[in-house]
Amino acid sequence: MAGVRALALPESIDELQQQLARQHYVADRALSVSAYLALKLKRPLFLEGEAGVGKTEVAKALAAALGTELIRLQCYEGLDINHAVYEWNYPRQLLEIRLLEAAHAIDRQAAARQLFTEEFLIKRPLLRALERTGGQPPLLLIDEIDRADEEFEGYLLELLSDFQITIPELGTIKAVEPPVVVITSNRTREVHDALKRRCLYCWIDYPDFDKEYQIVTAKVPQASEQLARQVTAFVQELRTEDLYKAAGVSETLDWTAALVTMNADALDPATVDETLGILLKHQEDIQAVRGERVQTLLGRALMRQPGTPRETRP
Amino acid sequence: MTGDAFLRNLLLFGRLLRQNGLNVHPGRMLDAVGALESIGVGSRRDVRAALRALFVHRYDDLAVFEAAFDLFWRPSGGEPGGVPLWSLGERPTVVARPVRGTPVSLEHEQRSTGSDQAPAALPDMGVSAYSAHDVLRTKDFSEFSPDEIARAHRLMSGAAWRLGARRTRRWEPARRGAPDLRRVLRRNLKHAGELLDVPARRRRTKPRPIVVLCDVSGSMEGYSRMLLHFVFGIAHARRSVEAFLFATRLTRVTRYVSARGVDDAVARMGRAVVDWGGGTRIGESLRTFNTKWTRRVMRHGPVVLIISDGWDRGDPALVAREMARVRRSCHRLIWLNPLLGSSTYEPLTRGMRTALRVIDDFMPVHNIVSLDRLADHLRALPDRRGGGRSEPWTSKVRTRSTLRPHASGSS
């Protein structure tokens, strides 16, 4: 098992920030420091923030920057060990019993040994992240942990403290080199402190104008400078409105891409009205903004001089 | 500055954070030392980011951290590790959970419990206890004396607040249901692969969560004290309860209802609500609830209890819109109105009339009997959303005779 190489970690915070920038991810200083320390101290990085601020993107960019595989576990209510860690392939096991039987080769003791081998094991993300025998340790992304049940958090806590998994039929599997762990949460509920205490915490907010403009130009390079500037300014204005769900960065990017497809070079009220559904996902929000409000917001957005700071939603 | 002085200051900073409610444990202090060794202490911005990542575990603590950092690590030209202000006796501005405002209408209650009056009253009840209970059970909350509140609380503490269960996505072994393949295989190995015994599994169930929104505006004055006892009772009988109080604005009081004693909890809620006894703005309060809290507290199909007399000065259209939204994101929406206990009450206020169109149940909450009825009703809630709505209120609001299907006890 000597095949696992330790990851080549960035030398400094600045280097990490540049590596992320090369992956088209615009990381602010606080995030870079947290990520750098998480790598250095070998602790999970816990990212919290509203939906659509780019938490999952951090993990993707980090994996690419480190040049390692990303293993993603998407959490949902009812997620259990069978879907997070491992499961036996029952249909194949049953079939195997029949085959042994047909060959008159069945022997109770031997059958148990033969049936519970790695061949019949379905490996789920957590197991795959630990059992690496060659190459580099992967980056394990545990996405939207707030969707999973509290019971699962308890299990995860245990896993993250010693990076080993016990399968009764097979024995204990321990990671040679622990994976880099990134956990995200939309804060639909408070994740238990015991888990967060093991991690480095980073709150990711909606980006300010300059950062969001950089993100837009990095991710949708086809957009003209004028369009990118106007789109960013409009979304920034939109976030100051009192809405059920503010537009996230992913919505900004989708919207920009859509406008580029429509060959729009600048924003006008009619275009914004038509495409508002890409930015806002609640019918009430769309109704509240469409028409007059869009004109006001657009007016304010177009008035923004390049480089003037403006308050974003707190 | 020597490393020693810096380490001492780091420890003091950790203690300051702990005093302000942050969960900074010794292991974390070691992490912090390691972190600062690897990034250096040259950049104030980086040190701040590093300590923030290590010491803060939740969004609510961010503001406290920032204030504490500014207070402690002042970027002065002099000695950076100087004696912090708070150690000189100056109270830091960031002391957690400052006590604001005065608890309205709670003073005499606290006094009565403070002087052991309630326990002393117990032996006197003697043989007449039953009838005393009986009177108490049907007496309107607004006519309760502080002493009666204490007794009523004891009566209520026995109430079982059970709701229909919701089905989760987890499995548990069962006698009947879908075959549990893992156990099927394990158990039948000994039969050489012949499936003689087929263990089953089914979806596990969990109790449904409750969200309580209670009106504490001026018009509810007579009831709010008793209703807080009721909210406390529910919260302590069940694990997943979210509680909010509102008058002109909405305040989340979930963490106060988890206090040990009811008096402590009620007093803390009283302090947390700045607009206690003020006017009512149901629409705005519900809007705050919908925009700020729904995504966090309306998970897993909760039952929502709104407790209010419906006196609203705001825009009825807003109430209607926000009520409809609450209705769409919960399993069942129940409006509890203390005035419904009175025989002459008609839901004529605009706020109430608009609300009636969307709610599932409209029930009185003015005495202990009505609470018992509520408990019965909650136990029997149908699994289906909106199933068995108690009354088509929309069409009958104007007809007097059909107004009080649940009203009882006070007659």
Q: What are the sequence ranges of the domains in chain B?
A: 3-88, 169-205, 210-402
pLDDT at B131: 46
Residue among B35, B291, B300 whose CB faces A37 most closely: B35
Q: Which of A87-91, A298-302, B355-359 has the lowest mean pLDDT?
A: B355-359
Region label for A67, one of left (φ > 0), alpha (ψ between -120 and 50) or beta (otherwise): left
Give the mutation candidate from A12, A14, A17, A41 for the B interface (greatest B CB count, under 10 A).
Answer: A41
Other beta carbons within 10 angstroms of residue B26's beta carbon come to: 9
Chain B closest CA to A221's CA: distance in Å? 31
Question: Are B53 and A284 a contacting pair at CB < 8 A?
Answer: no
Query: pLDDT tens digits, residue range B206-233?
Result: 778 889 998 888 888 778 778 888 888 7
Residues from chain B contacting residue A284 (CB–CB below 8 Å):
321, 325
Which has the closest alpha carbon to A41: A52, A33, A49, A53? Answer: A33
DSSP secondary structure, B389-401, as one string:
-S--HHHHTT-GG
Integer-rounded Cα Rg, in Å, for chain A is 24
Output the six-digit token pair for B408. Answer: 């009882």
Question: Are B53 and A90 a contacting pair at CB < 8 A?
Answer: no
Specify the higher pLDDT residue, A116 or A1. Answer: A116
Q: Over range B315-334, report the average pLDDT.
A: 86
Region label for A158, one of left (φ > 0), alpha (ψ between -120 and 50) or beta (otherwise): alpha
Question: Are A33 and B62 a contacting pair at CB < 8 A?
Answer: no
Specify the higher pLDDT residue, A37 or B121. Answer: A37
Residue among A80, A101, A242 whose CB faces B291 most closely: A242
- Is a pLDDT exceeding 70 seen at residue B127? no
User: What is the CATH architecture assignment of B210-402?
Assistant: 3-Layer(aba) Sandwich (3.40)
Specify the higher pLDDT residue, B137 or B79. Answer: B137
**Residue A161 · residue A198 · CB < 8 Å:** yes
Give the mutation candidate from A9, A12, A16, A37 for the B interface (greatest B CB count, under 10 A).
Answer: A37
Question: Are A97 and B193 a contacting pair at CB < 8 A?
Answer: yes
Most confident segment among B8-17, B97-106, B144-153: B8-17
Residue among B58, B294, B295 whose CB faces A196 most closely: B58
Residue B278: which residues within 8 A CB-CB, separation 6 or more? B217, B218, B247, B248
Question: Are B57 and A201 a contacting pair at CB < 8 A?
Answer: yes
- Round to whole Å and give the CA distance between A74 and A56: 10
- Is a pLDDT exceeding 80 seen at residue B143? no
Which residue is associated with the tokens 């909405």?
Answer: B250
Q: Looking at chain A, which residue has its C-alpha nearest residue B191?
A: A108
User: For all residues of chain A together, what is the average pLDDT?
Assistant: 87
- Round to whole Å and give the CA distance between B340 and B346: 8
Residue among A106, A188, A189 whose CB faces B193 most closely: A106
Which has the closest alpha carbon to B374: B301, B289, B307? Answer: B307
Residues from chain B contacting residue A48 (CB–CB below 8 Å):
59
- Is a pLDDT exceeding 80 seen at residue B169? no
- Is a pLDDT exceeding 60 seen at residue B236? yes
Question: Are B49 and A98 a contacting pair at CB < 8 A?
Answer: no
Specify the higher pLDDT residue, B169 or A248. Answer: A248
Residue among A33, A98, A190 whose CB faces B49 most closely: A33
Q: Looking at chain A, which residue has its C-alpha nearest residue B188?
A: A94
Give the H/E segment covering residue B251.
strand B250-252
- Is a pLDDT exceeding 60 seen at residue B402? no
- Round to whole Å and give the CA distance between B175 and B288: 46
Query: pLDDT tens digits, residue range B362-373?
Result: 888 887 778 888
State percent of chain A over pLDDT 90.
Answer: 47
Query: pLDDT tens digits, residue range A219-264?
Result: 999 999 999 999 999 999 999 888 888 899 999 999 999 999 998 8
Query: pLDDT tens digits, residue range B81-92?
Result: 444 444 433 343
DSSP secondary structure, B9-49, as one string:
HHHHHHHHHHHTT----HHHHHHHHHHHHHH-SS-HHHHHH
Query: How do beta strands B250-252 and B361-364 pair?
Result: unpaired
Residue B112's pLDDT band (boundaries 50, 70, 90)?
very low
User: Residue A238: exposed, middle, or buried by beta-carbon count in 10 A (0-12, 13-18, 19+)?
Assistant: buried
Residues from chain A contacting residue B299 (CB–CB below 8 Å):
188-189
pTM for the model stands at: 0.73
Question: Are A188 and B39 a contacting pair at CB < 8 A?
Answer: no
Query: pLDDT tens digits, residue range A12-53?
Result: 999 999 999 999 898 989 999 999 999 999 999 999 998 889
Query: pLDDT tens digits, residue range A50-69?
Result: 888 989 999 999 999 999 99
Chain A closest CA to B35's CA: distance in Å? 6
DSSP 3-state assignment of B175?
coil
pLDDT at B401: 36
